[in-house]
Amino acid sequence: MTDTAHLEDLNERQRSAVTFGRPDTAAGLTSDPLLVIAGAGTGKTQTLSHRAAHLVLSGVDARRILLLTFSRRAAEEMTRRARGICDAALAARGRRGQAVSLPWAGTFHAIGARLLREYAPALGLSPNFSILDRADAADLIDVCRQHLGLALRTRRFPRKDTCLAIYSQVVNRRAKLAAVLETRFPWCVAHHDALKRLFAHYTERKQHLALLDYDDLLLHWALMMREPGLAAGLAARFDHVLVDEYQDTNLLQAEILRGLAPTGAGLCVVGDDAQAIYGFRAADVDNILGFADQYAGARVVRLERNYRSTQAILDAANTIMADAARRYDKQLASTRGAGLRPRHIIAHDGADEARHVIEQVLARRETGVALKQQAVLFRNAHHANEVEIELVRRDIPYRKYGGLKFLDAAHVKDLLALVRWAANPANQIAVFRALQIVPGVGPASAQRAFERLEADDWSLAKLGRQPAPRQADAEAWCALVDTVAALADGAGGWPATLEPAAEWLKAQLPDRYEAPTTARAGDIDDLVRIAARYRDRDRFLTELTLDPPAATGDHNDDAHLDDDYLVLSTVHSAKGREFDSVYLLHVADGTFPSEYAARSPADLEEERRLLYVAFTRARNVLEVVSPLRYHVTEQRRLGDRHVYGAISRFMTPAVRACFSARDAGTPVDAPVSAAAPASLRAALDVGAAARRLWD
């Protein structure tokens, strides 16, 4: 091919990746294995789309190109771009009307389902198998759980969603059940044998009913590739296999790719080891880090020219990754100039952090940056509790991605149900929910109890004298009635009367929700602290009822959103997106990195990559906030209500040197280090003096 107009908008390294290969008279273009390390904002989608288009324009049959992605939207976007590139190039050559498509473009799961239906007779599958979504799969596991009598064991057995999560980890990690339980679900180790029986029964039940779950789509495809005849036939159907987001593949997907391209010929994978953040979904970063070892003669192309962020932000991101234990060397370089240095903000506590972030958001809005172009990011959804409540108070619309909104979380709604019942004994919705917090109380028992309560003129005293429902925990039942009665009486004053209710609810968490429940207990304590901002119970309920987060934050109903809204998101959910301004919350040890990441070096490295992803979402402004104080849940009466936090271990001196530092509340345009004149700043090296004390 001599016409290269479709390559003109690519930089040199992108062009190298797109055109990699050798002309072949029969196949159009052949190539050795190719790994494209595409740093954040370097045009990954553009490169892979152009690669697909270039193959077609070089004479490769589009039906012999397999494009695998992780989302349907990504597959559609790449197909659309490749088609547009091909159409423009063919039109320039006078070959109009030859529309190009990529019939084998889709997600791993979608392509797997398509192939399994086609090969079903050879695999012993019914061609008319049905596919279970996650919710249906969890329900089927629950049916199997009940059938085996596991739910009736004297020792609390994991609930359906936890069972499905364990099953999924075993399948996708190609690991033994014992290893998965020990490393990721230690509280379930004692149930090893029972879980093994459950998963065997679940598998048999699916096969009997001609059902496949999401994990089966990959598992059965991988099993198919272990049969030499089937693997060879399927591999012969495709000359080129293109894979997006390769750093997010798991061991099953890597096995499938090895079956499709045993030598790596025609295999092109694109990804970024620095953005491998889905280990909790069984993604294995070793797939991309070990690609060159798996496929001899592999070519590695690094994309380092960043089109998104300013260089000041990229300097911080580059420095974060420089300390990674294993990585591909790359230095992101901006095409947009130096820009403003990112800021590291030291906040007094979570409330101070929330006020500061919202003030900065509003200040940026006044300069013409829409709320939609700003994002508040966090490691875990509950880290945004203070920000979310403050947004409601200030009537600022928002969308939250990743996790439920704080006031919509089930355990938070449980506590609100207790308060609403105390405020209005006839509130059927609140009473119905609150009664079912008691272990053994289901909808039918709750309905009968509510009817008794109504017949007794809403008297909690009479309800307390009634025997507990037959299957209910009698002690928890009596404690619930006493708790609501104390809330209704209000003798201890507000919000002191709420604390016993919160403690009772936290005691029910292990039976009501799957472990670990630390984060849920923290949410409950957060709500108690927030309640202290209101002068009484009625004002607390009124404020949250008349102007709840759902009024402006519910992203499931765009009709209730203003034209502009602030984005709240976990870092995981923000991957692949970009914003003018990013505010990153709770960058402190124990929250970022998560306290649970300390269990292994690999988990800590993933936390480092997660911070890198957060930094590289920002185009122009990046603020990292570290609160000094964190409220605790175990020292209500015997000690202080807070502990002091430590700045994240990832914010090393080298990383902090990329930031300007200041306290929350300092005006944005205040000079840094303005507290002392220059003549005094060099007068004494206190660090050296302190070190000499120990010489």
Q: Give the tens place of pLDDT for each residue, 337-348.
A: 999 999 999 988
- Phi/psi region, residue 199 (left: phi>0; alpha: psi -120 to 50; beta: rest), is alpha
For residue 672, pLDDT beyond 70 = no
- What single-letter DSSP state applies at residue 647? B
Quote the pLDDT of residue 451. Answer: 85
Mean pLDDT value across residues 50-78? 90
| Helices 160-173, 134-147: inter-axial angle, 10-degree rounding | 110
For residue 214, pLDDT beyond 60 = yes
Q: Is there a binding annotation on residue 44?
A: yes
- Residue 228 CB: number of other CB atoms within 10 A? 9
Quote the pLDDT of residue 317. Answer: 96
Q: Which residues, in sequence order, are CB contacts of 431 under 8 Å at separation 6+?
A: 417, 421, 425, 446, 450, 453
For residue 553, pLDDT beyond 50 = no
What percent of the chain has pLDDT above 90?
A: 43
Mean pLDDT value across residues 569-576? 90
Q: Is there a binding annotation on residue 39?
A: yes
For residue 640, pLDDT beyond 80 = no
Mean pLDDT value across residues 93-122? 84
- Tens digit of each residue's pLDDT (9 = 90 or more) over 118-141: 999 999 888 877 887 777 788 888
Q: Is there a binding annotation on residue 94?
A: no
Quote the pLDDT of residue 403. Answer: 61
- Tens digit of each residue's pLDDT (9 = 90 or more) over 135-166: 778 888 888 888 888 877 667 788 888 899 99
Q: Is there a binding annotation on residue 41?
A: yes
Mean pLDDT value across residues 394-405? 80
* Buried-exposed string 145-164: b where 16+ CB fall within 10 A, e elsewhere: beebebeeeeeebbbbbbbb
Quote the pLDDT of residue 678. Answer: 43
- What mean pLDDT value characterizes the chain? 84
Return the top range by mean pLDDT from 533-542, 565-574, 670-679.
565-574
What stretch of H or E contains 557? none
Quote the pLDDT of residue 226. Answer: 93
Residue 529 and residue 349 in contact, taking contact as beta carbons nearer than 8 Å? no
- Confidence band of 404 (pLDDT split at 50, 70, 90): low
Q: How far apart are CA 6 and CA 15, in angstroms?
A: 10
Q: Whose CA is closest to 109, among 126, 127, 133, 128?
A: 133
Mean pLDDT value across residues 614-631? 90
Supply 34's token pair: 């190719």
Q: Which residues, in sequence order, are CB contacts of 323 under 8 Å at separation 6+?
A: 608, 650, 652, 654
Return the top range by mean pLDDT from 275-284, 431-440, 491-500, 579-588.
579-588
For residue 429, pLDDT beyond 80 = no
For residue 674, pLDDT beyond 50 = no
More confident residue, 669 or 283: 283
Mean pLDDT value across residues 80-87? 89
More confident residue, 67 or 99: 67
Q: How far apart are CA 303 and CA 463, in angstroms?
A: 69
For residue 562, pLDDT beyond 80 = no
- Confidence band of 300 (pLDDT split at 50, 70, 90): very high
Q: Is there a binding annotation on residue 38?
A: yes
Quote the pLDDT of residue 319. Answer: 96
Measure the CA dihedral 72/78/79/85, to 10°.
170
Return the top range by mean pLDDT from 93-102, 144-153, 471-480.
471-480
Mean pLDDT value across residues 676-694? 50
Quote the pLDDT of residue 664. Answer: 65
What stretch of H or E contains 400? strand 398-401
Quote the pLDDT of residue 552. Answer: 26
Quote the pLDDT of residue 688. Answer: 61
More confident residue, 670 or 642: 642
- Does residue 127 have a cis bond before it (omega within 30 degrees)? no
**Range in 195-204, 495-504, 531-540 with the lowest mean pLDDT:** 531-540
More confident residue, 281 or 366: 366
Mean pLDDT value across residues 60-85? 90
Q: How far apart are CA 371 and CA 354, in angstroms?
A: 16
Q: Is there a binding annotation on residue 42?
A: yes
Amino acid at 289: L
Quote the pLDDT of residue 612. Answer: 95
Mean pLDDT value across residues 445-465? 84
C-alpha separations of 643 from 348, 528, 586, 634 in Å: 12, 17, 14, 11
Q: How far apart are CA 122 and CA 204, in angstroms?
A: 19
